[in-house]
Chain A
Amino acid sequence: MTEKYIIKQLSIFSENKAGKLAAIAKIFLDTGVSIQAFNIAEANNFGVVRAIVDKPEIAFNEFAKQNYALQYTDVLAIKMKDVPGGLYEVANLLGGLGINIEYAYAFRTGAYGALIVKVTNPRAAAQKIIDAGLELLPAKDYNF
């Protein structure tokens, strides 16, 4: 029953070079896929572009067709109050539940913010988070 909260993030391998992000963004443009949240993690000479989009399958197929190395990664989006202490409330609660955040990034829309988190076991974590009284944003709001 936590399945609806599992968000399929795209993780795309990219060289750390000028123009590479534009090439990736162009594929989203050409496929008419809208980006909801976005982040780049970089290591020495490469990076991983992480994106949550409205039509992940369409984007995934086009990237694969163009020989990109990419995969889906299951992440959760935790609703945060858009007030001072909003992040503290979420982070403190996850800490208390013993849920380790591998990485996270945030976005804000209208009245509230959301923290995208990558955790080791997202389904079990989703249940714990809901049980503890926080709100998860369902995947359909982001992916479709």
Chain B
Amino acid sequence: MPYYNEKIETMPKPELVKLQYQELKKLVTRLYGTSAFYHKKMDETGVKPADIASISDITKLPFMKKTDLRDNYPDGLVCVPHEDLVRYHVSSGTTGKPTVVAYTKNDIELWSECVARSLTSCGIGRKDVLQVCYGYGLFTGGLGLHYGGEKVGATVIPASTGNSERQIELIQDLKTTCIACTPSYFIHLIDVAKKMNIDFKKDTLLRTAVLGAEPWTDAMRQYIYEQSGVVAHNIFGTSEISGPMFTDCSELNGMHICGDIAFTEIIDQNTGESLPPGEKGELTITVLKKEAIPMIRYRIGDITSILEGDCPCGRTSPRIDRLQGRVDDMLIIRGINVFPSAIEHALLKNSYLTSHFMIEVFRTGPLDDLLVKVELKPDAMTDSINGLMEMQMHTERVLRDALNVSVKIELCPPNSLPRFEGKAKRVIDHRVI
């Protein structure tokens, strides 16, 4: 089955544009009437729902940013009655307060349909066994792929993260044909399998991988294919727009952003001007049919471009290139988004530390390691090694809880870390991807 929803996915472009306009108009009208936040934002920009007369009028609308979610924590952006919500997902924010995303039943349905279309475009269907090795829980990766996988009728294994030898046992014993995880974790699994004398090509039925949540390259795709015989697809999404949603199809040439679900713009990060296909800029997405927390012109912060030309697969929705960086200082650690400002905020809670810190990111094996160097306050000194170790471990727990990713803490003497005049450069990223 080449398409999950053929009519929509292959809709002629003029019809798709018309549909996008209709959805946008409905969305803006509804939001102007129900969202105090967006009503105010539109008034400040001087735009009314009546000003939206075509899809290109979207550029008249104000942008939304991650800070809007933070400033309206936890549910200031929810514009449906609370009893209509069926789920929350939570990710670490930019400063202290996490980013909360809420979903109605229809939102989950839309998200699942989107993932189902994407998985179908990767050739995944009823006969497949899909092992989901993204984290289940507050992170959107696990449940997003899980619901999409069930929707296409695949047999889903909710393996979640970690325990690599067990993952490989499951791949063998349950005859897993597709896997969803981060690219670095899949490369790690290839290494672990080798150590177990298991050849993915000969000893398993694994043939497709859906990899995302962190930057990777075509060279990695090639390496994965050579080492494991697995065709790796790229998946994109972020919790603010629902979660992982869009993949490249069997052409492996850019990720299709389903046009009836989301409207894609690439903007100049400095001027906010829309850029034409082929030009690199900040990815901005409007989710056209989201109910609980609609996102209009949401500036995702990833840098990419819209690819020109039609895709031979027949899908008419636009495609975006691989993500090529960030407009901000966000780090991606084992697929989890981490803002240095969130680290700073979490460290403030530790009375035994000074306010100075440094962040170092390594990829010594296939996986990322996040090291945060912190300074002991002089008056927090204790003669007890256990006491100092406890401070170190406590800081590790505080950061892990705040960021949803494990962190190694190095306790340093007072005044030993760099001081900055002007803009602090606290991040040293040693990774070569």
A13 touches B413 (CB 8 A): yes
CA distance A36 to B377 in the complex (A): 28
Interface presence of A43 (CB below 8 A): yes
B380 touches A69 (CB 8 A): yes
B381 touches A43 (CB 8 A): no
B385 touches A13 (CB 8 A): no
Interface presence of A118 (CB below 8 A): yes
Interface presence of B383 (CB below 8 A): yes
Quote the shortest CB–CB distance from B396 to chain A (angstroms). Answer: 11
A45 touches B410 (CB 8 A): yes
Which one of B378, B380, B392, B412 lies within 8 Å of A15 (CB-CB)?
A: B412
Which one of A42, A46, A48, A67 lies within 8 Å of B415 (CB-CB)?
A: A67
Interface presence of A105 (CB below 8 A): no
Interface presence of A94 (CB below 8 A): no
CA distance A50 to B376 in the complex (A): 17
CA distance A57 to B9 in the complex (A): 79
Which one of B376, B377, B381, B383 lies within 8 Å of A118 (CB-CB)?
A: B383
Give chain B residues whose Cβ lies under 8 Å from the Cβ of A15.
412-413, 416
Quote the shortest CB–CB distance from B131 to chain A (angstroms). Answer: 35
Give chain A residues whose Cβ lies under 8 Å from the Cβ of B384.
102
A41 (CB) vs chain B CBs: closest residue? B385
B387 (CB) vs chain A CBs: closest residue? A48
CA distance A67 to B376 in the complex (A): 11
User: What's the A-B contact tally at a CB cutoff of 8 Å?
Assistant: 55
Quote the shortest CB–CB distance from A21 to chain B (angstroms). Answer: 13
Interface presence of A35 (CB below 8 A): no
Which one of A46, A67, A73, A118 lies within 8 Å of B388 (CB-CB)?
A: A46
How many residues belonging to A are interface residues under a CB distance threshold of 8 Å? 22
CA distance A41 to B388 in the complex (A): 12
Interface presence of B314 (CB below 8 A): no
With A69-B380, A69-B381, A73-B383 known as contacts, the answer to whether A13 contacts B410 (CB < 8 A) is no
A10 (CB) vs chain B CBs: closest residue? B383
Give chain A residues whose Cβ lies under 8 Å from the Cβ of B377.
69
B381 (CB) vs chain A CBs: closest residue? A69
Interface presence of A29 (CB below 8 A): no
Which one of B380, B385, B392, B413 lies within 8 Å of A67 (CB-CB)?
A: B413
B384 (CB) vs chain A CBs: closest residue? A102
Give chain B residues whose Cβ lies under 8 Å from the Cβ of A13.
376, 381, 388, 413
A46 touches B411 (CB 8 A): yes
B381 touches A71 (CB 8 A): yes
Q: Identify whether the interface residues of A are mostly helix, strand, loop, or mixed.
A: strand
Which one of B376, B385, B392 lies within 8 Å of A69 (CB-CB)?
A: B376
A43 touches B388 (CB 8 A): yes
Interface presence of B382 (CB below 8 A): yes
Which one of B383, B392, B415 lies within 8 Å of A71 (CB-CB)?
A: B383
- Chain A contacts with B in 104-144, Cβ cutoff 8 A: 118
Quote the shortest CB–CB distance from B397 to chain A (angstroms). Answer: 16
Give chain B residues whose Cβ lies under 8 Å from the Cβ of A71.
381-383
Interface presence of B46 (CB below 8 A): no
Which one of A43, A69, A73 lies within 8 Å of B389 (CB-CB)?
A: A43
Interface presence of B414 (CB below 8 A): yes
CA distance A9 to B384 in the complex (A): 13
CA distance A13 to B410 in the complex (A): 13
Give chain A residues whose Cβ lies under 8 Å from the Cβ of B378.
64, 67-70
Q: Residues 73-96 of chain A: 1 if any B CB is under 8 Å from the residue's CB, otherwise 0?
A: 100000000000000000000000
CA distance A55 to B392 in the complex (A): 32
- Chain A contacts with B in 1-60, Cβ cutoff 8 A: 9, 11, 13-15, 41-46, 48, 50
With A14-B413, A67-B413, A69-B413 known as contacts, the answer to whether A43 contacts B380 (CB < 8 A) is no
- Chain B contacts with A in 364-414, Cβ cutoff 8 A: 376-378, 380-385, 388-389, 392, 410-414
A68 touches B413 (CB 8 A): yes
Give chain A residues whose Cβ lies under 8 Å from the Cβ of B413.
13-15, 46, 67-69
With A46-B388, A48-B388 known as contacts, the answer to whether A67 contacts B383 (CB < 8 A) is no
| Sample of 13 A–B contacts (CB below 8 Å) | A13-B413, A15-B412, A15-B413, A44-B389, A44-B392, A45-B411, A46-B411, A46-B412, A68-B413, A69-B378, A69-B413, A70-B381, A118-B383
A-B pairs, 9 with minimum CB distance:
A11-B383, A67-B415, A69-B381, A73-B383, A69-B378, A71-B381, A67-B414, A69-B376, A45-B410
Residues of B with Cβ closer than 8 Å to A?
376-378, 380-385, 388-389, 392, 410-416
Residues of A with Cβ closer than 8 Å to B?
9, 11, 13-15, 41-46, 48, 50, 64, 67-71, 73, 102, 118
